Amino acid sequence: MAGAAVVGHLRLAATAGALVVVLFGAAACTGTAPGGPAAGPAPTLTGAPTGAATSVPPAAPPAAPAQVPDVLRFTGTTLTGAAFDAAQLAGRPVVLWFWAPWCATCASQAWTVAEIAPKYRDTVPIVGVAGLGEQRAMKEFVTEFDLTGTTQVDDRKGTLWKRFKVTEQSIFVIIDRTGKVVHQGFLDGEALSARVAALAGA
């Protein structure tokens, strides 16, 4: 009986040892380290390689200044005493209005100019060229017809009138954005408004 008991104890010990080995083996296969999951490989980012400089598209070059056509190569002085350079108008359609302070036709057109000039100041500038009169009368004309917001060149000497071959008033000289004179002559208020609106939309 004693021998059988010894054999039974040996079998139990062997069985327990086998279970311990199995349990340790199972733990080793899970990949779980003590204290939490094992750290995996670092994630791979798509796109530019690590350390590569990010390319930035080059900035667009600044727009070249508009070429000044010969027709706008003139300067003068406004009725307010400011210097005027027509070259600053290059690249846009321009309307030159040749008027005299005593001219009844000019007075009738002045209301239209005063109305539309501020609206189209940045797209189709209208520049008055006052001549054939005294400066005081010219300034009074500008005040009376509310033209103070429109550039008015003092051309008492007739320099610009001669340059553009203007021999009477009231005359409109319309220059397109390329510097070509597309109209020179009389325009009533309705026709002037239509021409300026068309130029602004061109």
Q: What percent of the chain has pLDDT over 90?
A: 65
Cα-trace Rg, the chain: 45
Taking the model in full, what pTM does it have?
0.68
Q: Following CA atoms 153, 157, 159, 161 in sequence, which dihedral angle do they give, to the nearest 10 degrees?
A: 80
User: Widest CA span of the chain, in angstroms?
Assistant: 150
In 30-158, where does DSSP find H-type helix?
104-116, 135-144
| The pLDDT of residue 109 is above 70 | yes
Average pLDDT value for residue range 8-37 = 39
* pLDDT tens string 24-44: 333 333 343 334 444 444 444
Q: Is a pLDDT exceeding 60 seen at residue 186?
A: yes
Contact at 8 Å (CB) between 109 and 170? yes
Alpha-carbon gap, residue 96 to 131, rounded angstroms:
13
- Dump pLDDT digits (tens) for 127-139: 999 999 999 999 9
Spell out the domain ranges in the chain.
70-201
Higher-pLDDT residue of 49, 97: 97
When the candidates are 3.40.30.10, 3.40.50.300, 3.60.21.10, 3.30.470.10, the CATH number that belongs to 70-201 is: 3.40.30.10
